[in-house]
Amino acid sequence: MSDAAFHYQALTPDLILDAVESLGIYPETGLLALNSYENRVYQFRCDRGRRYVAKFYRPERWSDAQILEEHSFAFELAEAEVPLAVPLCIDGQSLHHFGGFRFALFPSIGGRGFEVDNLEQLETVGHFIGRLHQVGKSAAFTSREALTLKGFGDDSLAWLRQSGHVPPYLEQAFFTVAEQLLQAVKSRWFEAGTLRLHGDLHPGNILWTPDGPGFVDLDDARTGPAIQDLWMMLSGDRSQRLLQLEILLEAYEEFCSFDTRELALIEPLRALRMLHHTAWLSRRWADPAFPMHFPWFAGDKYWEQQILAFKEQLANLDEPVLSLIPY
């Protein structure tokens, strides 16, 4: 991927406004940058009083076919009444091109943060993840990527080895424990059933509106095991996670069946996410936004902490698998 893909210098406020106005929508307010590092996302109010979000996709990350498949999945979910931010179709198109950038417009759904420790909210979220997966099972992606050991594990580790970002005096310790972690994941991995997923369903991608949850950001939609969209809802000590899991799955299974064998993939998936996230920061370091927002990545302390975190995750992989509390 070229360095040019990491820079948004050409994405000036004037270009953003011109892009939006090319669709016949005229911003009345300034552009409010939202919390997004992978893409560039802005909220505004138009001259008719409606609030929109404009999402400008990172160049070279996805193909048009992959983005349109994400949009198609969003339309399916909306038709099934899953509360999701769905791109607007304007003149029959949901993906637009302007000034060398690709972008989409979404209605702004607003809302406050989802409280993962609020069990009533968690139950409602479980219902809607079940409905999301019911739709996800009904067809398959043909262009979008799958969650694989190679992509999240092997490729992440290979990138970090050649990146030059690991401090030389920590290389042996870091790569030794990272390799041990990946091998431990591989020894516990099994091929579960797969379906179309949200892909990155952490609590930050769920807003709480007066009508309940609102899901956002299908940017990482991919094929994978159902548990990938569930395990990030769990937090706290083991007893808290068991209670959350029981509530979540009881609600989930009102709409979609769940293979409880996938519970054994929770800690392997967590380990893969840790490896993938570290490699993601490294891959994006040429983007000026990343040194600004993640300055600690360039410090030795970060890598020392990663070594400790990887060791802790190795220990977590040896813990008994979470199992459902009997009713």
Are 14 and 194 contacting, i.e. CB atoms less than 8 angstroms apart?
Answer: no
Helix axis angle, 266-283 relative to 300-317, nearest 10°? Answer: 160
Burial call 127-153: b when 16+ CB within 10 Å, e when fewer: bbbbbbbbbbeeeebeebeebeeeebb
Report which of 6, 279, 5 is spatially closest to residue 152, judged by C-alpha positions: 279
> Which DSSP category does 265 fall into?
G
CA angle in degrees (0–180, nearest 5) for 302-146-161: 35
Q: 274 is written with which tokens? A: 């840790």
Catalytic, out of 217, 219, 229, 287: 217
Is 200 a catalytic site residue?
A: yes
β-partners of residue 27 are 46
State the Cα–Cα distance between residues 258 and 39, nearest whole angstrom.
33
Is 300 a catalytic site residue?
A: no
Catalytic, out of 3, 64, 91, 200: 200
Are 124 and 250 contacting, i.e. CB atoms less than 8 angstroms apart?
Answer: no
> Helix (H, G, I), strand (E, B), or coil: what is residue 132?
helix
Q: Which residues are catalytic?
A: 200, 217
